[in-house]
C-alpha cells in the first residue's frame, strides 16, 4: 500500500483515500479466494459473561495461609464458600479485566473476594519483663519477702527460701 501511495504521489489525506479506493478492488480481484463452505467461520459464544474471562490479562498466584492473594500491591481476601472453606496454598488465576477490576479463578470457577485488610506488622518479643501485671506483682512480692528474710536471718539457700515462702503463704506473714 505504501508503494502505491508513493507511485500515485499522494500527499494529502484525500489523495491517499482515493488511491486506497482505487487499489483495494484490484487487490481483492487478484488475491481473493472463495470460501470452501458458505457461512461464517466464527463460533458463537456460549455465554455472554464469558467475554470478560477471555479478554483479560491472566496471572498465576499462590494463595497465602490467611486466604489472601497479593496482586500488584493489592490484597484480595477469598471469601469462604461451601465447596472449600480455605484456599491456602492453592494455585489460582488472577484476571485483570480491561475495566481494571480483578477476579480470582480456581479450577475455572470465579471466587468471591473482598479487599483484605492491610498486612499486620510482624510481632517481635520485646525486652523486659513479660506476663500479666498480676504475675509481675506476685514476683515482686516474693522477691521482697526473700530480701526481708535475708536481712533477718542472714544468707539462705534456695531450698530454705522456698520453705520460708511457703510458710509465709500458709501463716499469712
Q: Kindly report, residue by residue over 68-83, the tens digit of the pLDDT.
A: 999 998 999 999 888 7
**Cell match 470465579: residue?**
110
In sequence order, the β-bridge partners of residue 29 are none
Per-position b or e across 21-52, b if 16+ CB within 10 A of its CB: eeeeeeeeeeeeeeeeeeeeeeeeeeeeeeee
Q: What is the mean pLDDT of each run of 10 residues along the chain (173 residues)?
A: 87 91 91 89 76 90 92 91 86 94 92 84 67 66 71 56 54 54
Contact present, 94 and 103 (Cβ < 8 Å)? yes
pLDDT in tens, 130-150: 666 666 666 677 777 777 766
Contact of 116 with 68, CB cutoff 8 Å = yes
Residue 92's φ and ψ, nearest 5 degrees, are -125, 165
- The pTM of the full predicted model, rounded to 2 decimals, is 0.48
Amino acid at each position: 500500500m505504501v508503494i502505491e501511495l508513493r507511485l500515485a504521489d499522494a500527499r494529502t489525506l484525500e489523495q491517499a483515500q482515493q488511491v486506497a479506493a482505487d487499489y483495494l478492488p484490484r487487490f481483492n480481484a487478484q488475491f481473493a479466494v472463495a470460501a470452501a463452505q458458505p457461512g461464517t467461520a466464527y463460533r458463537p459464544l456460549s455465554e455472554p459473561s464469558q467475554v470478560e474471562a477471555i479478554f483479560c490479562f491472566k496471572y498465576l498466584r499462590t494463595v497465602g495461609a490467611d486466604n489472601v492473594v497479593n496482586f500488584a500491591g493489592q490484597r484480595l481476601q477469598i471469601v469462604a464458600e461451601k465447596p472449600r472453606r480455605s484456599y491456602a496454598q492453592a494455585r489460582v488465576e488472577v484476571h485483570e479485566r480491561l475495566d481494571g477490576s480483578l477476579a480470582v479463578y480456581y479450577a475455572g470457577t470465579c471466587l468471591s473476594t473482598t479487599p483484605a485488610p492491610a498486612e499486620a506488622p510482624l510481632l517481635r518479643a520485646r525486652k523486659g519483663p513479660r506476663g500479666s501485671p498480676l504475675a509481675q506483682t506476685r514476683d515482686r512480692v516474693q522477691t521482697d519477702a526473700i530480701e526481708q528474710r535475708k536481712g533477718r536471718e542472714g544468707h539462705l539457700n534456695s531450698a530454705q527460701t522456698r520453705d520460708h515462702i511457703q510458710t509465709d503463704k500458709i501463716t499469712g506473714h
